[in-house]
Amino acid sequence: MAEIGEVTLLLRALREGETGAFDRLVPMVYDELRRIAHGHLRRQRPGGTLDTTGLVHEAYLKLAEQTALDVRDRGHFLAISARAMRQVLIDFARARTAGKRGGPQAQRVTLEDDLAAVESQAERLLDVDRALERLRAHSERLARVVECRYFAGFSEEETAEALGVSLRTAQREWLRARAWLQRELGRRGPAEGPR
């Protein structure tokens, strides 16, 4: 229980821009960050560039670059971290597909089934990301629900807490977001995530 109070104090310090608050906070929520990273990566093909620890550390670097984070509470911080992890994976997917198309670091390789599957997965991740950005233009909150449920692997309760809405609202908006993305992607897309 003392840890919860300490996390709350560190979140307040982080919101106020206190130097070192972020570095003291991350170890206290590290296990939760690993759980979120694992949720992101379980949708990826094994043998990818990042593992759970690597994804947490890349997201840490992305978040540490920001001078101040406007964080309400623990759930909100975890949702922001989940978004950073998604952005890291999207950046890696873009780099992979840029290389495939003859980008500056492209290498010629023979086409193997595993390589084709990894490339296909990178394209699918980019498709989902583009659809999520279109959803964000339609409804910011629906996009945040998808980030929490699909990308972070949050439960319905955790999603409601992270977004500051009722459980019923989180459930209803998850259904709306899944339906919207299914139509947008034209196939069984992110709806295959948590129910």
Q: Which residues of the chain have pLDDT under 50?
A: 1, 103-118, 188-194
Counted domains in the chain:
1
- 31/190 Cα distance (integer angstroms): 25
Domain span holding position 125: 2-192
Give the C-alpha distances (Å, rounded to integers) separating 177 from 100, 146, 182, 191.
Answer: 31, 7, 9, 9
Q: What is the pLDDT of residues 48-87, one digit of tens each?
A: 667 888 888 898 888 888 766 788 888 888 888 888 888 8
pTM, to two decimals: 0.66
